[in-house]
Amino acid sequence: MPLVAYKDLPTFQRLRQEGRTVLPPERASHQDIRELHIGLLNMMPDNALQATERQFFRLVGESNQIAQFYMHPFTLPELSRGAEAKTYISKHYETFDQIREQGLDALIVSGANVSRPDLDQEPFWEPLQNVMNWAWENVTSTICSCLATHAVMQFRYGQKRTPRKEGKLWGVYEHRVVDRAHPLAQHTNTLFFAPHSRFNDISEAQFNAAGMKILVKSEKAGVHMAVSPDGFRLVCFQGHPEYDTISLLKEYKREVTRFMNGERGDYPPVPENFFNESALEILKNCEKQIRGGSKTPDFPEEKIIETLDNTWRDSARSTIANWAGHVYQTTHMDRKKPFMDGIDPDDPLGIRKNKV
């Protein structure tokens, strides 16, 4: 599904430079292919705003070629922003009012950084509920990533996340598809890896109590992917299928920098199951230099990048391709209507009907 560069968004040029297919609007207008309009509610902080945007754009654009994708990024004005990010958002993002006026076929909601112990104390809490409630009534399907999943599980299903006793879950973990017959899991590797980066968890028992259907889980990382009781209108990830190969490395570098600046007392552990032996040796030497008092050690980012493997991208693409394909098959031609005439909102993929 090619992305369409219908606006002057820097991400489109960046993706072209990476060799990815991005259609100019004049070319898109001559193709007899249906448009799909997908919103991206980007709640990430300033230093991750554009990277998150690119990650989700890549994931959607690489799925397959049955439609033209028009991506509509927007954010919440209640989130604290610096001057540069505000300028970028003002120039390139839409407002939620504009999104509601135009309508969407589907929606993706990113994670966010939080500073308070309870999500309902965050400034984005009520605005996020407004977006999610609108999407539930007007959008075919919504994907939630990490914190967005925790938020919607709390305000829609009454299931609050809890801090992990073991500390932060950080790394790449093995997962299994536990419902192979579900349309979103078909043609996906039944055993695959996925990255996680979180201090909190919604347990399998909590997902079950909410009536959610678990599709993918891990012995170490818990539930990775679950869907709403109807099977499609809400797709929740606790992990990060959108992560680039270098995302966890960037997070680790950030934590090392925080240690060097005195912002954290302990030297950060490495993400689990991510670095190979060669990379670990390089990072161990870097740690020795830093602990030895070197004031300006060069973090060996480029050397590490050469050693990294991506063990989750193909499975993520397959899942998103399934999702986008079923949005295509069920959404109404009118973007303000979530489903084609005759589609049951309580069973949009016909899962229950087919079991009868």
Query: Are 134 and 265 found together in one domain?
Result: no
Query: Are 174 and 206 found together in one domain?
Result: yes
Sorted by sequence, the CB contacts under 8 Å of residue 223 that are 6+ apart come out as: 202, 203, 204, 207, 214, 216, 217, 238
**182: left (phi > 0), else alpha (psi -120 to 50), else beta?**
beta
Global pTM reads: 0.91
Position 29 scores a pLDDT of: 65
> DSSP string of 212-257?
PEEEEEETTTEEEEEE-TTSSSEEEESS-TT--TTHHHHHHHHHHH
Percent of the chain with pLDDT over 90: 81
Domain boundary among 265, 282, 305: 305
Residue 289: CB atoms within 10 Å: 15
Query: Are 278 and 162 found together in one domain?
Result: no
Position 13 scores a pLDDT of: 85
Position 197 scores a pLDDT of: 97
3-class DSSP state for residue 124? coil
Residue 317 CA neighbour count, 13 Å, CB half? 13
Which pair of structure tokens corresponds to residue 101? 């006026």
Position 27 scores a pLDDT of: 67
Query: Are 110 and 234 found together in one domain?
Result: yes
Active site residues: 146, 240, 242
- Name the residue with higher pLDDT: 29 or 172: 172
Residue 94 DSSP one-character state: B
d(CA 173, CA 215): 16
Range 153-163 average pLDDT: 97
Q: Is the pLDDT of residue 295 over 90?
A: no
Query: Are 234 and 255 found together in one domain?
Result: no
Sorted by sequence, the CB contacts under 8 Å of residue 284 that are 6+ apart come out as: none
Query: Are 254 and 226 found together in one domain?
Result: no
Q: How many domains does the chain have?
A: 2
Q: What share of the chain is helix, strand, coil (3-state, %, to 5)?
A: 40, 20, 45
Query: Are 166 and 297 found together in one domain?
Result: no
Which pair of structure tokens corresponds to residue 337? 């209507």
Which pair of structure tokens corresponds to residue 264? 């954290």
Three-state secondary structure along 262-296?
CCCCCCCCCCECCCCHHHHHHHHHHHHHHHCCCCC
Sorted by sequence, the CB contacts under 8 Å of residue 189 that are 6+ apart come out as: 177, 314, 315, 318
pLDDT tens readout for residues 254-277:
999 999 999 999 999 999 999 999
Query: Are 32 and 162 found together in one domain?
Result: yes
Query: Are 238 and 253 found together in one domain?
Result: no
Q: Is the pLDDT of residue 355 over 70?
A: no
> DSSP string of 10-49?
HHHHHHHHTT--EE-HHHHTTS---EEEEEEE----HHHH
Torsion sign over Cα 311, 316, 317, 318: positive
Q: Is the pLDDT of residue 1 over 60?
A: no
Query: Are 101 and 229 found together in one domain?
Result: yes
Domain boundary among 287, 305, 323: 305
d(CA 285, CA 287): 5
Phi (first) and psi of residue 251, to 5 degrees: -65, -40
Domain boundary among 268, 285, 305: 305
In this prediction, residue 144 has a pLDDT band, given cuts at 50, 70 and 90, of very high
d(CA 245, CA 62): 15
Residue 211 DSSP one-character state: T
Q: In which domain, by residue range, is 335 found?
A: 3-243+312-355
Which pair of structure tokens corresponds to residue 54? 């690119």
Contact 34, 53 (CB under 8 A): no
In the predicted model, what is the mean pLDDT of the chain?
93
Which pair of structure tokens corresponds to residue 133? 């409630």
In this prediction, residue 192 has a pLDDT band, given cuts at 50, 70 and 90, of very high
Least confident of 117-121, 125-129, 190-194, 244-248: 117-121
Mutual angle of helices 247-260 and 46-61, in 10-degree steps: 170
- The H or E element that residue 68 is part of is strand 68-74
Least confident of 81-85, 185-189, 191-195: 185-189
Query: Are 48 and 117 found together in one domain?
Result: yes
| CATH code of 343's domain | 3.40.50.880
d(CA 317, CA 330): 20
Range 220-237 average pLDDT: 98
Position 65 scores a pLDDT of: 63
Instruction: Look up residue 257 and give its amino acid.
Output: T
pLDDT tens readout for residues 3-56:
888 888 898 888 888 877 787 877 666 565 778 999 999 999 999 999 999 999
Position 32 scores a pLDDT of: 57
Position 354 scores a pLDDT of: 66
Query: Are 294 and 187 found together in one domain?
Result: no
